[in-house]
Amino acid sequence: MGDRLTASTMLQNEGKELTKEEKQRLRKEKKQHKKNKKDDKGPPEKEKEKEKASVPAPSKPATQSPAHKAAPAPVHASESAAAAEKPAKSKAELRAERRARQDSERTSKQGKKEGGQQSASSKPKATPNELQPVVKRLPEHVQVDDPAALKKLAKKLERQQVPLRSDYGYKVSLFSHLHQYSRKSPPTLQISIPATVIHPSIVRLGLQYSQGIIAGSNARSVALLHTFKQVIQDYSTPPNEELSRDLVNKLSPYISFLSQCRPLSASMGNAIKYIKKEISNIPSQCKEEEAKGKLQACIDSYINEKIILASEAISKYAIEKISDGDVILVYGCSSLVNHILCKAFEKQRKFRVIVVDSRPRLEGREALRRLVKKGIRCTYVLISALSYILPEVSKVFLGAHALLANGYVMSRVGTSQIALVAKAYNVPVLVCCETYKFCERVQTDSFVSNELDDPDDLIVTRNGKSHLENWQTVKSLGLLNLVYDVTPPDFVDLVITDLGMIPCTSVPVVLRVKNVDQ
């Protein structure tokens, strides 16, 4: 009772924020009321239905309609709650609800001015099962073991007419919150040909992602941008619609489809954000052909600036760090690191390279092929021999999939192992990463958000025998094929970006500078 009174005094001071807390309190009261009326089955059921109707009612208008509709929604909820629970309510609560109504009317006037903000603040409220204030919604792809989230995803995909891909095989319990798909059942099996909702080049791209034909962070982003160019080319604005809004809506099912084929990478996420921003910035009086041309030019310049020119700038800085007589260790196949080494070799630096590789992807072989073709002296080892060759190494060059806001480096699984052993041997570790791969996410371990690849990849056939062939029959056996891991910033000595050489802890500075630019 005491905290109710303090809450009501808070109502006097604060403005539109109170509507959120008000809604939470009302929901809490409803839940308590449900508990109180447990013995009486008839009326509580009716009440529950009424409450359920009133809860999704405010949530739906809150998410879809503009702000001034959201304001009467909590009023509606509070009114219905008041009607159902009058005997259980005290004077203080009635007073609080009256104040809430006044506040919501006040905010509805404010809300007409700040429409976007209100709907954004009411959006996190609309998701179920949150008891604490403003919890940011977790992305769907790390909530696979939560049946409510799965149901939501299924509904959303059904609405967008995108096929839902089902998980495959037994998942190790520590990673049961992630998807695990099989390469043998691509999502394109369930799509009718010709595809109606999804553009055919997107279908092709999705298939290339899911089968691993296009792999590597830069390659995926560039392929995505080229496909979007094709989509924009084939797009025509339906009558009575604006290009800036309709095209963004058209892109959403494509993006859902692509993330069903393979979870989006950080670089792809940033590229999509950029495209959506560009599309929504198209002025409404712009003619369609002109708008399309502008968008395609934007995409071209993004690829050119952020990927191609960035790799030139990074090579320039990196070549300063390569001296004659160096022994450089690289891991896996990073397009950027290969580019740097080739450029350095062209500039007549004398060095040799040790390529470290790991199963099941064996990407190092591709890197080895490219470097040997250039004429660089290479050695090839598997990651198990790492501590054996590290005493010979003078520098380690690593690529990155993404750089997180707390300085952690997310890269191919095995990278953090290499950084750790290199630190133990006091060998400098240099990470090369373009700035468009920097993301605002924070992660301290490799469990919370990762990608599980096809477990059947771990089956190897030697001398005609494949021992793990029937792994599904053994109930206690699980195969884990992780794709990414995170390296803490203490193991990384230097990050080379297109803005220059920065220590790993300065990633938030770069993000801040970039936001200021935009």
Looking at the Cβ atoms of 310 and 507, the one nearer to other proteins is 507
Looking at the Cβ atoms of 74 and 489, the one nearer to other proteins is 489
Shortest reach from residue 252's CB to other proteins, in Å: 37
CB 331 within 8 A of CB 364: yes
* Residue 503 in contact with other proteins, rule: CB under 8 A: yes
Looking at the Cβ atoms of 178 and 429, the one nearer to other proteins is 429
Subset of residues 113 to 172 that bind other proteins, contact rule: CB under 8 A? none
Q: And the tokens for 516?
A: 């200021």
Looking at the Cβ atoms of 147 and 325, the one nearer to other proteins is 325
> Which DSSP string do the residues of 120-172 spell out, in sequence order?
HHHHHHHSSS--SS-PPPPPGGG-TT-HHHHHHHHHHHHHHT-PPPPP-SPPP
Subset of residues 410 to 469 that bind other proteins, contact rule: CB under 8 A? 428, 430
Which contacts of 32-37 are long-range, i.e. CB under 8 A and separated by 24 or more positions? 33/84, 33/85, 33/88, 36/88
* Residue 241 parent element (H or E): none
Shortest reach from residue 338's CB to other proteins, in Å: 21
Q: And the tokens for 429?
A: 């570790």
Would you call the peptide bond into 360 cis, given omega within 30 degrees of 0 as the criterion? yes
Place of tokens 């050489």: 501
Shortest reach from residue 430's CB to other proteins, in Å: 8
Measured CA distances, 285 to 233, 243, 281, 282 (Å): 19, 10, 12, 9
Shortest reach from residue 353's CB to other proteins, in Å: 18
Shortest reach from residue 512's CB to other proteins, in Å: 9
Looking at the Cβ atoms of 342 and 502, the one nearer to other proteins is 502
* Residue 490 in contact with other proteins, rule: CB under 8 A: yes
Q: In this structure, what DSSP letter does residue 304 have?
A: I
Shortest reach from residue 509's CB to other proteins, in Å: 5
Choices 105-113, 195-203, 277-285, 489-497; region in contact with other proteins by CB under 8 A? 489-497
Shortest reach from residue 322's CB to other proteins, in Å: 11
Choices 344-352, 408-416, 465-473, 486-494; region in contact with other proteins by CB under 8 A? 486-494
Q: Pick one of 69, 321, 349, 365: the residue that binds other proteins (CB under 8 A).
A: 321
Looking at the Cβ atoms of 291 and 499, the one nearer to other proteins is 499
The CA distance from 359 to 481, in Å, is 10
The CA distance from 87 to 99, in Å, is 19
Measured CA distances, 398 to 329, 492, 512 (Å): 8, 10, 24
Shortest reach from residue 411's CB to other proteins, in Å: 19
* Residue 313 in contact with other proteins, rule: CB under 8 A: no
Looking at the Cβ atoms of 228 and 351, the one nearer to other proteins is 351
Shortest reach from residue 340's CB to other proteins, in Å: 15
Q: Pick one of 395, 405, 449, 473: the residue that binds other proteins (CB under 8 A).
A: 395
* Residue 509 in contact with other proteins, rule: CB under 8 A: yes
Label residues 43-72 b or e (16+ Cβ within 10 Å = b): ebeebeeebeebbeebbebbeeeebebbbb
Packed helices 217-234 and 243-261: angle between N→C axes, nearest 10 degrees: 140
* Residue 506 in contact with other proteins, rule: CB under 8 A: yes
User: Half-sphere exposure of 181 toward its Cβ, with a 13 Å CA cutoff?
Assistant: 19
Looking at the Cβ atoms of 317 and 436, the one nearer to other proteins is 317
Would you call the peptide bond into 187 cis, given omega within 30 degrees of 0 as the criterion? no
Closest CA to 252 of 226, 231, 230: 231
Q: Pick one of 7, 313, 383, 502: the residue that binds other proteins (CB under 8 A).
A: 502
**What residue type is 368 in one-letter code?**
L
* Cα 282 → chain centroid: 25
Choices 29-37, 81-89, 367-375, 487-495; region in contact with other proteins by CB under 8 A? 487-495
Please count the other Cβ atoms lying within 10 Å of the Cβ belonging to residue 147.
Answer: 9
Shortest reach from residue 432's CB to other proteins, in Å: 14
Looking at the Cβ atoms of 199 and 395, the one nearer to other proteins is 395
Looking at the Cβ atoms of 85 and 493, the one nearer to other proteins is 493
* Residue 76 in contact with other proteins, rule: CB under 8 A: no
Shortest reach from residue 428's CB to other proteins, in Å: 4
Q: In this structure, what DSSP letter does residue 452 have?
A: B
Binding site for other proteins (CB under 8 A): 321, 323, 395, 428, 430, 490, 493-494, 501-503, 505-506, 509, 513
